[in-house]
Amino acid sequence: MNSEHDMPAFSALSLFSGAGGMDVGVRDAGFEIVLANDIDRDACETYRRNHGHHIIEGSLTDILPQFCDIKGIDLLFGGPPCQGFSVAGRMDPNDPRSALMSSYFDAVDAVQPRAFICENVKALASLNRWEEVRKNLLERASDRYHVRLMVLKASDFGVPQNRERMFIVGVRKEASDQADFSLKERLNELLKASRSKPRSIGEIVRDLGPAGSQGNIRTCSAKITYAKAPVLRRSPYAGMLFNGAGRPFDADGVSPTLPASMGGNKTPIIDEAQIFDGEAPFVEAYHRGLLGGGKASSGTAPPRLRRLTVDECLAIQTFPSDYQLAGSRSAMYRQIGNAVPCGLAEVVARAVREILECRYGMEEREEPIIPKGLQLLMEDNAAAIGQAA
């Protein structure tokens, strides 16, 4: 995606900002982010290094009472923690993190932005067990907004990852709205025009260089050992050929969803000899042998197989190549896995921006007002970081 920094900026407020992946996309779509919030310390430090000191570290519920005094925000966006809804978790409706979706819409009610973008897992949009949750969220937002719920696959928009995510997009209703205005049709039109083909995993890794080389130094040290009782699937890149939850990737394809649990033996596996030397894929040959009745190998896998590096994961999530991460190696992997792919966020935010431009025009843009209490919190955070440094 190409940034258009010469575009006049609409204002934006970021919630559940994490390491700022969604913020990269929103920024590159032409929004100026004036306030952000997250509770994770390492993620907040990463955010400051790449976006600035306008992030408040702490719980949203602690600062939410002041949001009623925020004025003139064009876009409120964020991805509340998804573990309570994710098929990769316990899918517990009583998980405290599930309640943060409601907190997000409390913020929308308080700030009343011209538009909002709420991101979460596909399961929240598609599973019957969450039907009542979906219905309540959409009905709540529909009082003031034209609302569209959609599921997007990142790889359809130039992101080398088959991550599917739910987006709820809202655009504020106005008295001047014409009867034929359809947010669904307009978004579909804009998103269709933004589709693009992603690069393969092999192309990304070749650009960065072998693990441990100058441009790819942040490696994962977790060993790869053969599973004693392999679980076979039709694809060699599924099943369980090695111990741990890290699956091998097809170098000629795109990545499955990168998990936040990366950093150890859940970190995905690639074949350097295939990528750099053009050798036949080791995993495919091993899988073929097992299907033919061959005996499972034991011990450590050959060194040509290794786990994705931090920089490769950043590239798969379409972060800028110079993005700076804070915290331990495991914290870096976690921040990347938790992020919304920057390129996908940009596509959605750019569509919303075009709709806002058509509905309002830049001449009607209001200057955002952030109440003094929140300004002081941003300043206090910045001062505390400066003293610690």
Q: Give catalytic residues, as residue numbers.
A: 82
- The CA distance from 157 to 128, in Å, is 27
The DSSP letter of residue 100 is H
Q: CA nearest 237: which of 227, 247, 252?
A: 247
Q: Would you report the helix, strand and coil content of the chain in percent, each value rounded to 5?
A: 40, 20, 40
Q: CA nearest 337: which of 316, 306, 307, 323?
A: 316
Token pair of 182 as six digits: 């359809």
> Are the C-beta atoms of residues 130 and 137 closer than 8 Å to each other?
no
Helix spans in the chain (H): 21-28, 41-51, 60-63, 100-111, 122-126, 131-142, 183-193, 201-208, 272-277, 282-291, 310-316, 329-338, 342-359, 372-388
Residue type, 62: D
> Are the C-beta atoms of residues 120 and 84 closer than 8 Å to each other?
no
Q: CA nearest 22: which of 82, 83, 103, 76?
A: 76
Distances (CA, A) of 90 to 73, 84, 122, 244, 356: 35, 7, 15, 19, 38
Token pair of 290 as six digits: 């097992």
Token pair of 35 as six digits: 């306030």
Burial class of residue 212 (count of CB atoms within 10 Å of its CB; 0-12, 13-18, 19+): exposed
Main-chain phi, psi angles of 102, to 5 degrees? -65, -40
- The CA distance from 82 to 122, in Å, is 10
